[in-house]
Structure 1
Amino acid sequence: MLQGWPPPVLDPAGPYATSVSLLSWILFGMGAAVLVIVLVALYLALFGRPALQAKVGGKTAIWVGGVAFPLVVLTALLIYGLSLTRHLSDPITGNELRVRVTGEMWWWRVAYLDGSGREVVQDANELHIPVGRPVVLELQSADVIHSFWVPRLSGKLDMIPGRRNLMRIQADKAGVFGGQCAEYCGGPHALMGFKVIAHQPAQFAQLMAARMARQTSAAPVAAGAGAQLFESTGCSSCHRIAGTGANGLAGPDLTHVGSRSSLGAGILPNNRGTLMGWIGNSQAIKPNNRMPPYTVLPADQLNALATYLEAQK
């Protein structure tokens, strides 16, 4: 089982998820209380003394229990819930880490932004954040409606084509937190996972410095045959690797693919065997995804490609 998966939904690891979890428990409690009241009323209506049956079925009980009580309780819960979770979509103040996450069919495009909103580091399917610092996610979609949800770090929010929605997340401890697309988006929707990896601030700063430097440096070539195959088989027309001629935007950015913990949007561990299998026939692993199968490639060529991609970190 992949680390951080399945994501527990009522085990908050940050302040924004804590408010959602608290509201959830309140709703569970209120739901249980209403169920008990309804069951008691039903029992009295069926088996109570005639005087109690008359009261339960009378106009006063209907107006109080069927109109006034739900109106007051639901209104109070709505106001309290909105006040409790209003900070989840607070506007950008300038002190947060900013990341743009774009939902694709069926993976996640990730771009780290500078203070002016310019993309400085590209990645896919996982997000690295510092412990204890708020992160503002700019959520958008490139095709259909998706929904971003990492339960231990925040609530969930839809990603709607043509619209940018803001959501805050924060991790109060280091770790790996699993997420999932929470809006049915067709095809392999259930296999559209996500990971957030929280680092101590010093480690996160080192990671980002290395990745920003990598954006302008030449790509490491672990095996010349792999680099040539990446170009000749058409991989570069769909994928980008910084420091090379590969500038495709149809598929995930592969500049840091060798350092990712998973493949296929969180469904496979990232190692030589799974990487070869994904390149050779991803359709057998994640049916209907948009990467064509390369079943014509022999094992030695798949190994060369996997070796080349493993070096991209």
Structure 2
Amino acid sequence: MLLTAGVCALVLCAALSLALGSRSIPLSTVIDALTGAGHGGDADVVTGLRVPRTVIGLAIGAALGVAGTVAQGVTRNPLASPVTLGINAGAGFAVVAAIYAFGLTRPIEYLWFAFAGAALAAVAAYAMSRRGGDLDPVRLALGGTVLTVVLTSWTSALMLASHRTLDEARFWLAGSIAGRHLDTLVPLLPFLVLGLVGAFAVAPSLNALALGDEAAQSLGVPVTRIRVVGGLSVVLLAGSAVAVAGPIAFVGLAAPHLVRPLLGNDHRWLLPGSLITGPLLLLAADVLGRLVARPSEIEVGIVTAFLGAPLLAVLARKVAR
């Protein structure tokens, strides 16, 4: 029932994404444009700009929501997400370094660099969190924070060293789904699907992992394998999202926390809930960014950061208690 309500809310949000922007378009015109019956400037705006933007928002939001849920489950850390673990910062730094060194200009060219940066950042955060052979969730959060600060400073240094890199990367680093075309998303779909399959495959084992490594092993759960598969899923999902839209903060952190009070802690329900809540949050933030600064826009990454910072403070205070 709750999942059905979430799907209905997501459909409504997608409709608003198609209808609202620097100028509002009547819903009847949107429907005509989608069915091919509409013609003219408004129909062209819907089909040429807002449909790709909305579809990409749905895909990226789903990827970030699921990635955050798996990251929290694998690490047993309620503050874990692609942002707090340094994964987004690693992918962002790798892409900016590639722009600086090779003059890349298209998101599809960023793909492998985004994946490599995300993977290396995840491994580094995991290595810093080890204590006596066990995963320490507190050290993981601290290591991810330190990693994010270091990589962000390196990214800024590269951008300041090259005006071309600054011009190419500054809007991408803000995190945006505006101006993206579907041909940017299509090559990434296999990686997104593979990441989602891996995430849902480890969902039952994440429930056991929440009991601790020893308890999970006593239940026959291959802890190392689950962490590897879960980690790879997070890297695939977060790396794809960063390659398309830039580093968008807090969607992966917020989605599972909004779902838990409604669906509980069972990852077999958490993951579908986050799959719906992630794009719902992203599209809602994108629509808000279009409306508050008309006729201009605020990038969705800035909106999610502005709204997510208080959430992170509340969650950190709750965890500390």
Q: Same fold (TM over 0.5)?
A: no
- TM-score, reference length from structure 1: 0.24
- TM-score, reference length from structure 2: 0.23
Larger-gyration structure (1/2): 1
Q: Which has the higher strand share?
A: 1
With CA pairs under 8 Å and 6+ residues apart, which has the higher RCO, 1 or 2? Answer: 2
Q: Which has the higher helix share?
A: 2
